Chain A
C-alpha cells in the first residue's frame, strides 16, 4: 500500500558565501493517511527546512539537490521535487499540503483582515466566489472555536492564541491531505499551548487529517504524535512509533533527549547532552553525533552509519545496531 507521502533521500543544501550548508542531508520517512508524524530535534537540525522542502518553499540560497518527495495521487504518485514551481503552487500548496507556521504573530499580514487572508487562499485554488469563500471562512473560524465575526478583524486585534487558531482555520480551508505544523506552539504561553494542542488533536481526530508535527518539545510530541522521527544535524537518526521510540530509544541521541526531560512522577537527576550541535558546513566526519556520544566507537568517527531496520517500521542510524 502506498504511503500518502514518502520522502526519499531528500537533500537540501544552502549555498552561502561562507560555504555550503547541508541542512537536510539524506532524509527519508513515510507518512500514512490519518497519521501524525512527529519530527523532533534541536533548533537548527533541519526540521523546518525539511518541511519547507516538502512544499518547495526553501528560500534562496537554498536548493533541493537530490531525493524524491512522493505524494500519492489517485492511483499513482507525484514527485514534488520534479514538479515545476508553478505546478507546485497551483496543485500542491494549500490544496494538498498546507502549513502552520511558528509564531502566527508574524505569519499573518497586519494590513489585511483575517477574513481576507483566509478567503484569498480559497479563491486562489477553487472556483468559489468571494462571498462563498467568506462564508466558508466563517465556518472555518467556528470550527476552531472562534466567533465567525472575526473575519472583519485585523491580526493585531487578536491574542496570540487566537491568531494561531485563525491560522489553523486557514490551513484547513481547502481540506488538504497533509497539514505540516512547524512549531505551532513554541511562541505561546503554556496554557494557550495546551489549548492549541487539544484543538489540533480534536481536529485531527474529527477530520482524519494527516499531519507532520515539527517541534523540539518532546512533551508536545508525546501528546499528539503517532509516529516519531528524530533528527540530528540534518539527518534522521531514529524512526518508529511513538510508544516504541519513547519507551525504548535506541540511538544515543534519542536516549539523551529523553533523559533530559524532567519527570514529575519519578524525579531523577537531569542529564543533559554535553557539547553543541555541529556546524553544518563542515560536519564531523563519520557519524555526526560522535563528538557528543558517550558510546562512540572508532568506526563512528570514520564512516556514516546507514539507516537499518530493526523491526517493523523501526529504523535506526547508528553503528551500535545491525539490520534485524
Chain B
C-alpha cells in the first residue's frame, strides 16, 4: 500500500520535512474539500426545499411594510382610489426588486446558499430565542452553541477516560467478568435511547428524590449567577443530570471499541517482543499497546461520538439544556425556518469538519499515514 518508501540512503533532513508537509497537507486538503462539498450540497438542498416558505415569509414582510407605509397620511393625501392602488403596487414592486425576489429561481437559491456559506444566516420572527433579544439567527445560534459544546465535551472527556480504562482492562482479562460487563454496557449503549434515559433520570432524581431541578433552565434561573461561586454551583446543578445521562449511555461504546482494538493489538508480535525486553507490564499496556491502538481507536470512537451527537441533542430538549438541541426542538415546534436552516448549517459544519479533524489526529498518531503510506483511504 506504500505510495513510495524513503530509502535510507537519501539524506532525509530537508527532504523529510518537505515530504511530511506535502503528504499530510495534501491528504488533509483533500478531506477538507470533501467537507466543503458536503456542506454546500446540504445547504443547497435545504435552501431549495425551504425556498418556497422563506419567500412566502418575505412576501408577507413586504406586504406588512407596504401597509405600514400606506398608513402614512402624507403619502396618500390627495390621491384617489386607483392612484392609491397604483402606489401600493409600485412600493411593493420596489421592495420585491430590492430583495431580489424577481430574479430567476436558481439565482435566488444560489444567493441564499451564498449568504449562508458566508455566515449570513438571516433573521427570525421570534425574539424570545435570544437572551439579548436579538433576532439575528447567528446570534441565537452562537449563544446556544457554546453550551452544547460544554455539555457534550465534558461528557465525552469523562466517557473517554472511563471507556479507555475499562476497555484496556477488559482486553487484558478477556473472558473475565469485567469483559462481560464491558460487552453488556456497549450493548446498552447501542440500544438505549439517551433522551429516554434522560426522562427516567428526571423522573427519579427530580420528581421522586428532589435532588435536582427538572429543568436546567430553572436551575440556572434559581442560581445566583452574580458571584463566581454561585454561578459555578448553578451550572453544576444544571449540568449534573444531563452529564450523568450522557456518560451512562456513552461509555459502553467506547469501552467496547477500545477493548476490541486493544485485544487485536495484544496479539501482535511486538507486544510479546516488548515483554521479552523486560518492559514492565504496565508500560507495555499503557505505552506500546495503547499507543499502537490509538489511531483506530480514535477514528472509530469519533465516528461513534458523532453518532451520539444526535442523541445528545435530543436529550438537550428533554433536560431543557439551553443548547443547540433545545433550539432545534423549539424551532421545530414553532416552525421557525430561518433558525432551522441556520442550525442545519452549523450542525453539518461541525459534523463534517470534525471528520477532517479526525483525519488530522489520525495522521498525528500514526506515522505510517504521516509519510504518505496510504494515499487512498
Contacts and interface: CB of A to CB of B under 8 A. Distances in A.
Direct A–B contact in the complex, CB atoms closer than 8 angstroms = yes
Contacts of A124: 277-280
Given A110-B367, A147-B8, A125 B278 contact: yes
A190 interface: no
Given A106-B269, A109-B288, A156-B368, A121 B8 contact: no
A251 B303 CA distance: 60
A277 B291 CA distance: 40
Contacts of B6: 157
A121 to B, nearest CB: 4
A157 B274 CA distance: 20
B351 to A, nearest CB: 28
Contact of B272 (A59, A98, A153): A59
A292 interface: no
B276 A99 contact: yes
A108 B280 CA distance: 17
B8 A111 contact: no
B30 interface: no
A125 B148 CA distance: 49
B268 A154 contact: no
Interface string B347-377: 0000000000000000001111001010000
Contacts of A288: none
B2 to A, nearest CB: 8
A162 interface: yes
B292 A153 contact: no
B20 to A, nearest CB: 12
A55 B276 contact: yes
Main secondary structure, interface of B, reads helix
Interface string B225-265: 00000000000000000000000000000000000000000
Nearest to B13: A149
B284 to A, nearest CB: 10
B368 A109 contact: no
Given A99-B276, A156-B367, A108 B270 contact: yes
Contact of A89 (B5, B270, B278, B294): B278
Nearest to A118: B277
B270 A157 contact: no
Nearest to A159: B5
Interface in A92-118: 92-95, 98-99, 101, 103, 106-112
A107 B273 contact: yes
A147 B12 CA distance: 12
B278 A106 contact: no
B147 interface: no
Contacts of A134: none
A112 B276 contact: no
B210 interface: no
Contacts of B371: 154, 157
Contacts of A92: 278
A158 B269 contact: no
Nearest to B368: A156
Interface in B272-304: 272-280, 288, 291-292, 294-295
Most buried by A among B8, B273, B280, B291: B273
B269 A154 contact: no
Contacts of B277: 93-94, 98, 120-121, 124, 170
Interface in A131-156: 146-147, 149-150, 153-154, 156
A75 to B, nearest CB: 24
Contacts of B365: 111
B367 A158 contact: no
A112 B288 CA distance: 8
A158 B276 contact: no
Contact of A109 (B275, B276, B278, B292): B292
Given A94-B277, A121-B277, A157-B6, A111 B272 contact: no
Contacts of A103: 269
Given A157-B5, A157-B6, A109 B270 contact: yes
Nearest to B276: A99
Given A112-B288, A147-B8, A162-B8, A101 B279 contact: no
A170 B270 CA distance: 13
A57 interface: yes
11 contacts: A110-B367, A111-B291, A121-B277, A121-B279, A153-B8, A154-B367, A154-B368, A156-B373, A158-B8, A162-B8, A167-B273
Interface of A: 55, 57, 59, 89-90, 92-95, 98-99, 101, 103, 106-112, 120-121, 124-125, 146-147, 149-150, 153-154, 156-158, 162, 167, 170
